[in-house]
């Protein structure tokens, strides 16, 4: 059984901690009193994120943050991190994350996402650290048989290599516990994270053309892009556009803090859905963002994308029951905070 510790006595390694979800989680952990070590190779993030985190949390909490620019695939570098800092728990975010890109670059996605996980857990094992929270995804449910999705809903074959990496890493971590019951594994299946820190200091900063809906909508609102592309309006949903369970990134961050608290002193493998339990359509998102930014946003209907499902939303009652966690923000809050971030940082962290 893992040793139960108070937050102030716990050092948490956050891989990919300069990324969108990772950075917001680091803020939450520092504010809860944890010591945090961030490892990020900055391949899809900016070092300026670390400064923004320190600004948000203040000097006292910032003193508990250590940052290493390191690739999780680098075994020697990761061993040095574990040698230098007594790591108690790990939250594993690091990985390539663009669904479309994964289809055209399967080798890179499997090598990076699976490879860095295998390196990480081997280094953890060698240093006697067996507590890990994994950043998984609702993509493992595939095209759902019924809604809402619960943690008991069947995993389906993934529709792209990105989804398969999440699917496979869940299996790897489950097998680790089967082989050695001292492992303590929490698999967090996110639905669709959007929003930004209410301060406007941190948010999603995609490189190039955004792969996700919200950053694209925000770039239309700021004038960077002409209109929102809506992929399909003939789905079996109330307005014909795809329905997803959007969750505020700050709610997602508190979900990780709740999972850390819940797993403290336990062993086993546990799965939690993190979402709001409510589905919102693409057109409803565009309408909500139009309200947030004060102008109607143009959009055009394009053909469906392969692999997109009609609707997807979560039953999050297990997280509430077991961890005492529930999402607090609604779609209006998510769009307001996204617009606040985008309008204050039109070029993301670079300007």
Beta strands in 197-324 (DSSP E): 228-231, 243-244, 246-248, 268-274, 280-281, 299-302, 311-312
Beta strands in the chain (DSSP E): 11-15, 35-40, 65-69, 89-92, 131-137, 184-190, 192-194, 228-231, 243-244, 246-248, 268-274, 280-281, 299-302, 311-312
Is 15:72 a contact under the CB 8 Å cutoff?
Answer: yes
C-alpha neighbours within 13 Å on the C-beta side of residue 172 = 20
Residue 201's SS3 state is coil
From the list 331, 321, 328, 329, the residue with the least C-alpha distance to 272 is: 321
From the list 45, 98, 95, the residue with the least C-alpha distance to 67 is: 45
Is 177:268 a contact under the CB 8 Å cutoff?
Answer: yes
Options 34, 109, 141, 162, the catalytic residue:
162
Distance CA 99, CA 121 (A): 24
Is 292:332 a contact under the CB 8 Å cutoff?
Answer: yes
CA 257 to chain centre: 13
Element (H, E) at 221: helix 213-222
Residue 162: active-site member:
yes
| Cβ density class 173-208: b for 16+ within 10 Å, e for less | beebbeeeeebbbbbbbbbbbbbbbbebbbbbbbee
| Residues labelled catalytic | 162
């Amino acid at each position: 059984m893992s040793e139960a510790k108070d937050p102030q006595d716990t050092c948490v390694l956050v891989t990919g901690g300069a990324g969108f979800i990772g950075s917001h989680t680091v803020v939450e952990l520092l504010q809860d009193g944890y010591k945090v070590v961030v490892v990020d190779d900055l391949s899809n993030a900016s070092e300026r994120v670390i400064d923004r985190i320190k600004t948000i949390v203040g000097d006292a909490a910032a003193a508990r943050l250590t940052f290493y620019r390191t690739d999780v695939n680098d075994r020697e570098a990761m061993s040095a991190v574990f040698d230098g800092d007594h790591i108690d728990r790990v939250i594993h975010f690091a990985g390539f994350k663009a669904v479309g890109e994964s289809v055209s670059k399967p080798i890179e996605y499997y090598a990076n996402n699976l490879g860095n996980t295998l390196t990480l857990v081997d280094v953890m094992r060698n240093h006697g650290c067996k507590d890990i929270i994994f950043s998984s995804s609702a993509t493992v449910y595939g095209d759902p048989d019924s809604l809402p999705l619960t943690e008991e809903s069947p995993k389906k074959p993934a529709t792209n290599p990105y989804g398969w990496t999440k699917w496979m890493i869940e299996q790897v971590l489950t097998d680790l516990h089967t082989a050695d019951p001292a492992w303590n594994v929490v698999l967090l299946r996110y639905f669709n994270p959007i929003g930004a820190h209410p301060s406007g200091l941190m948010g999603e900063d995609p490189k190039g053309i955004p792969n996700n809906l919200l950053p694209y909508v925000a770039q239309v609102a700021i004038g960077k892009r002409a209109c929102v592309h809506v992929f399909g309006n003939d789905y079996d949903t109330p307005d014909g556009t795809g329905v997803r369970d959007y969750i505020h990134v700050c709610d997602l961050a508190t979900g990780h803090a709740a999972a850390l608290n819940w797993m403290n002193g336990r062993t086993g493998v546990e799965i939690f859905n993190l979402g709001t339990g409510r589905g919102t359509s693409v057109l409803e998102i565009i309408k909500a963002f139009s309200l947030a930014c004060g102008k109607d946003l143009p959009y055009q209907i394009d053909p469906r994308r392969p692999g997109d499902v009609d609707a997807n939303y979560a039953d999050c009652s297990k997280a509430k029951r077991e961890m005492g966690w529930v999402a607090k923000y609604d779609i209006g809050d998510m769009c307001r905070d996204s617009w606040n971030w985008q309008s204050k940082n039109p070029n993301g962290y670079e300007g």
